[in-house]
A and B are shown apart, each in its own frame.
Chain A
């Protein structure tokens, strides 16, 4: 299957049946993503009578130039390309997300495959060139004869990203809708990888990503961002969108971010949140960040003293918090007083009828809300903990610190 490069098409002469001299030059190659996101829909041709749109259905062949089978006078006038993806303007030299490689790359060139359809040519976008081949071609096009260029290309290793793995970034929300840019592939990556990608983008593009991603994915990604970026991103969103995302975050992470933001913005976001989530986050915000209380989450699994293993499993099914908090199930009594804790492994191994209190571990390290970070880290290390309950003077369970919080804390010092 012969393959063309976009850089070869741009500026190529266009011929119609009227004669042997070109009627114009290709200025743009356009796709209509709502109809077919992979195939070229039309060429924008610059003719002596202005810019015209040459539909792909009228294209016979591409050899030495684009050969159309209808006269130039019959082509429609080009009216601005609303709803069209213009490859030279929107893709060439722009940044795109390489979902497979999990990074942001710049487009050097685009590889297009030619196929012969029933009565016209089919041009399919096959891959984006982000390597030396594309760079060389762009640099030497028109300067070095085509044959010599082709033999040079053979020697350079190709660095291609298949079109299926490409996610486009579009900062204009109206165009995003028109072009159906949904970042589906990006959202399937691990939030930490999405965060890495997002950190490489400029602010406008970053905002666009957070406006497009699903709230849950956006929340998890936000949690993985550098704190300064977290603030910057949340401040750039509308307060109701920001509130939607904050609601989906772990309350302790949410409290940290909101605490770093200017008070007026924090208030705006809090007002837009659902009352339950707002109360949780507001409560955590009252604690000093570098104490045990500042690190804990209020989303953990806790059951009453009489509960059985089957109740725990049921609760697990409905648990909304992060996976880190479920490694230990806590048992509480009156007024949320901490009575016992059961590692998840024991729950898995026991029969459904077993009372939870029976499985509770004998030793139960706990920590006071006012304790400093050093004490927290020491306890985690000493007792090889995954989670640590935070209890106040009356023995009431107020929150849980998880291992990832501690690693976060320690990395800040490394």
Chain B
């Protein structure tokens, strides 16, 4: 083979890898959005290190579920809502989409909560930051080039390292943290409805239903096929690991500061950020706020439009920002309403930002089993997936996750939950 040919092969391999990196990493990073940050912070503040044991099993489940999503996208070349429509018909798809809209609306509210409270740390009133952010996001997504913006956000994702730094600077008890990561609590803990609530929230924010739809669609859009899929796998796995490591540090940081000093409830970002202030320096405090803002804005740019695409494709409406308003009415209206109604909720006076954000993640956790059931049914169909159907272990882990989440929800209701 000639020298130039050999070079060409390497260039091609590199391009394939770079082209393929992205969907998994982006999805995982958007995972640590405002809802995530609040939930992990509250988990640490309220329960100290006692929730850390969830992290490892949850990460395994996350990797399995995301990998299934990516595999389905690569092998079938279709989005999740398309597959559900083709295999299960209109009515089921309709109810799934309804559930998704409700869940994602909650998530959008959480993103704006993040934008509002992070900028309030810099003394910008939410009545300015929320509408401004909403309008900015709308224009960039609809009129602008989302792709170039995506690159900016991705680069800014390195702000997440700030949480790791903040976690280290908070001076936690490393031994206690590591022990708690590997040791589940005793049975009594599972009768505490607040504890169950938090577990559901933590899992719901990490394995959010909307992520599965988004990841599968991204894979399809990038044109990744069953052949190039192996590189995507690494993108997905690394993304999941990164996201959960960041999550672990957030829990530990808040456990080491707020919990230890008796601050058990977080009312807004200031509470979470304040904790870091006296113990570390201004730098960590600012990084936290900037990281929260970046995460919230990024998610607010992705979540509503992704929901609009998923719903329109599943139900057969015209969709796409390249279409004119008149050609794709349902699509544009759905997107606009999701975005602005979500923001409007935050502007209601005296609304408890953190409580609402955590509630939205609990809803994620409750809806998750339903999405997982469909994914499992689809990914095991050999007419659809050929030889890429789920292996035994993947089925075991995914079904276990589904059953555990349903169990946790029932246990929570039974133990007096439902405030």
Report A's interface with B, CB cutoff 8 A.
92-94, 105-106, 108, 130, 135, 138-139, 202-204, 228-229, 232, 262-263
Contact = CB atoms under 8 A, between A and B. Distances in A.
B367 to A, nearest CB: 20
Given A108-B316, A202-B77, A263-B5, 4 more contacts: A135-B316, A138-B89, A204-B76, A232-B223
Given A202-B77, A263-B9, A139 B94 contact: yes
B288 to A, nearest CB: 40
B85 A106 contact: yes
Given A93-B90, A139-B91, A203 B225 contact: yes
Contacts, number: 41
Contact of B12 (A135, A139, A262): A262
What 10 A-B pairs come out closest when comparing CB atoms?
Answer: A202-B77, A203-B77, A138-B90, A106-B316, A202-B78, A93-B85, A93-B86, A93-B89, A139-B94, A139-B91
| Residue from B77, B78, B86, B90 with most neighbouring chain A CB atoms (10 Å) | B90
B315 interface: yes
Contacts of A263: 1, 5, 8-9
Nearest to B79: A202
B318 to A, nearest CB: 9
B90 A139 contact: yes
B90 to A, nearest CB: 4
A191 to B, nearest CB: 21
Interface residues of B, number: 20
Contacts of A138: 89-91
Nearest to B90: A138
A77 to B, nearest CB: 24
Contacts of B91: 138-139
Q: Main SS of the interface on chain B?
A: helix
A135 to B, nearest CB: 6
B242 to A, nearest CB: 28
11 contacts: A93-B89, A106-B85, A135-B94, A139-B91, A202-B76, A203-B225, A204-B77, A232-B225, A263-B1, A263-B5, A263-B8
B9 A94 contact: no
A263 B220 CA distance: 25
Interface string B1-44: 10001001100100000000000000000000000000000000
Contacts of A93: 85-86, 89-90
A17 to B, nearest CB: 33
A8 B223 CA distance: 38
A106 B82 CA distance: 10
B20 to A, nearest CB: 12
A130 B316 contact: yes
Contacts of A204: 76-77
Which of A94, A105, A203, A232 has most chain B Cβ within 10 Å? A203
B388 to A, nearest CB: 13
A263 B3 CA distance: 13
A94 B86 contact: yes
A69 B173 CA distance: 83
Nearest to A236: B225
Nearest to B85: A93
